[in-house]
Structure 1
Amino acid sequence: MAEADDHNGTEQAIPVADITNGDQPAAAVLETLPVKGRAPKTGYKRTQFGRAWADVDHNGCDTRNDILGRDLKDKKFKAGTNDCKVMSGTLEDPYTGKTIYFKQGKKTSDKVQIDHVVALSNAWQTGAQKISADQRKQMANDPYNLLAVDGDANQQKSDGDAATWLPKNKSYRCSYVSRQIGVKHKYNLWVTKAEKAAMQRVLVTCPTQAVPADDGPFPQNGAASQGGSSAGTAVEGSGNSGQEANGGASSAQPAPAPAPAAPVVPQNGGDVYYQNCAAVRAAGKAPIYAGQPGYRAALDRDHDGVGCE
């Protein structure tokens, strides 16, 4: 095993990389990542990345429920939470390919868990020790680094990297590895030699795979649903999982969103190109379906043929 570089423990605020357009080839972005050995796990605690599932974007909804609201379909919400606390729904699990029915409760919530695509302890050992505490908190709650997945698969993965764990669903491996690359690029992390080799083996099967677009935080009260259906039904319910933070609404207002990028029309007369989902929505074309002008895989996070839902 390669020896890790010495680290003096000094935290720095390092600029977060811009990957909003999501059309950079994953293999090319991988080549920009430093290759080093893992740093020691000494000093790692979950609290180094802030309180679990904090409402860091001040949209009135904790991060766990934000992700459930994005990734589940046919959702029902707890009444009085402004469509925040998800009580039930259906997950098309990317890691196993299974359809999972989620019901919030002490004995059922764990069937669907929220995975850090780049595990926090892995991040700690591959550069996160060197970034600021605020950036670590951002990473732990960043929708770009989070997926609702099968609980058993999440437990099997633990803190593994691509060299030690890949999704059982082989058709999702290119998307999974490209997202890990995007996260590591965004937060100035490195890869180990074995990890890079594993990523390259996956990407050789999909040479045009791009890193996913980074659509940024959720709007207030979890109103956007980037993975599943945005429609939901309010229901009464009081069950609670030990993994969940507070799910109620907040009076905090989100920061103003940046102006959406305009669609780009190629000069050669080709189809319309949308830089990201903000541009699709600004053009009044959301959701955008496979086969329509401007649709591309990077806009379709759950690979169901419907982008920017």
Structure 2
Amino acid sequence: MRFAVLCCLGLLSNFTVCAQETWRGLVVESENRCSPYDKSSQYPYPQSVEDRVVAAMGGKVYGPYTGRYFDSDTQTDIEHIVAASEGHDSGLCAASAQTKQQFATDLLNLTLAAPEINRCGTQGKCGLDAHEWLPPKNQCWFANRVVQVKTKYKLSVDAAEARVLETVLANCDSTELVYYTRGNSQESAISEPILITALDKYDDNRNGRISCAEARAHGIAPVRREHAAYDFMRDGNNDGVVCE
């Protein structure tokens, strides 16, 4: 098992073939959209699930990613720790409608986040995986939850994501959720949550845009609206898909 983990994470430079491409029991393979994705119809959840998240946190309206407390859950978004698009591309694309809905409403995979942390266009998480985004706080809890969710739903993990998760988890004394002190002046700070942006990953000529040639070279075409690269591309007919 130790060999398989090191091999899949690219840490055994003298070996080019892995006997078993797994990491912490998860299959290591590239993301694959085996069927069309539509979050609203395939991964629906009622707004009332937010109350269940708050109850699970002892009644606290709390954003673990930044250690921030809120006066009301009207100030927060429902946040999927493993994003629906990430789950879809990691195996749920072939799952039943019932399994997809279970994933969308599973408290194991739900937390709260401020809109600027959760949404696209604000350097938020926006469907990114752990290779592309980590929270500034509660990284050990977050990484462990990603593994738990992917294990429960038999989802895959790509090699880059596995490397980041392993780096985080290898340095954790605990994976319990940390509640930072209320009123701490640091609690609402957003300190570089993006490790690797879409431009870092896909803008090869560093011109501030991502072309279809670059998208195809990185194997992400066609690029849909929910993908992190989409905001840096031109969608001429505004249909939510580029490089078809």
Is TM (by shorter chain) over 0.5? yes
Question: For the Cα contact (< 8 Å) 1:118–1:145, is it kept in 2?
Answer: yes
Cα distance change on mapping 1:96 and 1:124 into 2, 3 Å: same
Matched residue, 1:232? none
Residue type matched to 1:65 in 2? D
Matched residue, 2:49? 63
Cα deviation for residue 151 of structure 1 reads 2.3
Cα deviation for residue 46 of structure 1 reads 1.1
Residues in 1 aligned to 2:146 and 2:95: alpha-carbon distance in whole angstroms: 18
Residues in 2 aligned to 1:68 and 1:30: alpha-carbon distance in whole angstroms: 32
Matched residue, 1:163? 131
SS of aligned partner of 1:157: coil
Matched, 1:112 2:87: no
SS of aligned partner of 1:174: helix
Question: For the Cα contact (< 8 Å) 1:126–1:189, is it kept in 2?
Answer: yes
Matched, 1:194 2:160: yes
137-146 or 92-101, larger mean C-alpha shift:
92-101
Matched, 1:51 2:44: yes
Instruction: Give the TM-score of the pair, scaled to structure 1.
Output: 0.46
Cα distance change on mapping 1:302 and 1:162 into 2, 3 Å: same
In the alignment, structure 2 segments of 5+ residues that lack a partner are: 1-21, 181-244
- Higher helix residue share: 2
Question: For the Cα contact (< 8 Å) 1:121–1:159, is it kept in 2?
Answer: yes
In the alignment, structure 1 segments of 5+ residues that lack a partner are: 1-28, 55-61, 74-89, 104-108, 211-296, 305-309
Cα distance change on mapping 1:166 and 1:65 into 2, 3 Å: same
Aligned length: 156
Residue type matched to 1:98 in 2? R
Question: For the Cα contact (< 8 Å) 2:66–2:136, is it kept in 1?
Answer: yes
Matched, 1:182 2:148: yes
Flag as ranges the 4+ runs of structure 1 deviating above 6 A. none
SS of aligned partner of 1:101: coil
Question: For the Cα contact (< 8 Å) 1:48–1:136, is it kept in 2?
Answer: no
Residues in 2 aligned to 1:41 and 1:68: alpha-carbon distance in whole angstroms: 34
Cα distance change on mapping 1:146 and 1:165 into 2, 3 Å: same
Higher relative contact order (CA 8 A, sep 6+): 1
Cα distance change on mapping 1:153 and 1:36 into 2, 3 Å: same
SS of aligned partner of 2:71: strand
Specify the structure having the higher radius of gyration (Cα). Answer: 1
Matched residue, 1:137? 101
Matched residue, 1:101? 71
SS of aligned partner of 2:28: coil
Residues in 2 aligned to 1:32 and 1:202: alpha-carbon distance in whole angstroms: 17
Question: For the Cα contact (< 8 Å) 2:43–2:103, is it kept in 1?
Answer: no
Question: For the Cα contact (< 8 Å) 2:35–2:93, is it kept in 1?
Answer: no
Matched residue, 2:220? none
